[in-house]
Amino acid sequence: MRFIVCENYDEMSARAADILASQLILKPDSILGLATGTTPIGTYDKLVEMNKAGKIDFSAVKTFNLDEYYPIKADNDQSYRYFMNKYLFDRVNIDKANTHVPNGEAADPDVEGKAYDKMLAEAGGVDVQILGIGRNGHIAFNEPDSYLIAGTHKTALTEDTIEANSRLFNDISEVPHYALTMGMASIMSAKMIVLLANGKGKHDAIAKLLDEKITPDCPASFLKLHPNVVIICDKEAYEG
Ligand code: GLP
């Protein structure tokens, strides 16, 4: 696991965007694993700039997002599909048919989870996976628990995550209590993982990544088992 410690959010975003841009230059038909949350917005902004400047091309790219609230309609402005369209897909030359987000309107979450993993495997697996991290150490919506789940599945959000994510809603009562999320095996099957973290609120989670222990109490700690992980964080997340 490699750590890149940046001065600030802008530098963190630039570093992450550079890695993704290099990936697209070397392999124009890359499969990107994408994340939502406030952390990757700066990275997406930089990718949009590079795309507009003609430096990178999304026309052959496929994407798979980590998670989606459940149940939620795709056109709800709190859905992760809406977020991805707004911050990236509507701003670059990607074919929307090549963008995948778990279906928050699926009738049967078990069927949706299995279908999502199958589609991902058939596409050839993720080349570079962007990850954020919850302040409780969750990745995607794999929450701290006594066990973790391998494949894409429906999960209940913890009180801490509902509280953390409520800042993006009008009221905490509007935050969905469930989500569909890629499981740990789906995430760990990516060829390369780039985890982003900024701000003091992420320090405890980053400290657990620096610690030797691998525990379902901190799902992100399992990234230590992956051979190709880069953590890009700002000083505040690194030093606390
Ligand atoms: C959310 C998402 C995660 C994200 C994390 C951190 O709940 N499910 O994929 O990484 O929480 O979000 P943020 O970047 O807004 O801090």
Atom of ligand 1 nearest to the CA of 35: 9
Pick the catalytic residue: 68, 100, 138, 198?
138
Taken in order of first residue, the domains within the chain and their CATH numbers are 2-124+137-192 (3.40.50.1360)
* Cα R_g (the chain), whole angstroms: 17
Decide if 18 is catalytic: no
pLDDT at residue 162, rounded to an integer? 95
Pick the catalytic residue: 143, 153, 165, 198?
143
**Averaged in consecutive runs of 10 residues, what is the pLDDT profile of the chain (240 residues)?**
97 98 98 98 98 98 98 95 98 98 97 98 97 96 97 96 92 95 97 98 96 96 98 97
Which residue has its alpha carbon closest to ligand 1 atom 2? 140
Decide if 165 is catalytic: no
pLDDT at residue 12, rounded to an integer? 98
Atom of ligand 1 nearest to the CA of 66: 9
Decide if 93 is catalytic: no
Find the residues whose C-beta lies inside 6 A of ligand 1: 35-39, 66-67, 132-134, 140-141, 161, 165
Which residue has its alpha carbon closest to ligand 1 atom 1? 37
pLDDT at residue 27, rounded to an integer? 98
pLDDT at residue 100, rounded to an integer? 98
Atom of ligand 1 nearest to the CA of 67: 8
pLDDT at residue 216, rounded to an integer? 97
pLDDT at residue 191, rounded to an integer? 98
Q: What is the DSSP string of 83-120?
A: HHHHHTGGGTT--GGGEE---TT-S-HHHHHHHHHHHH
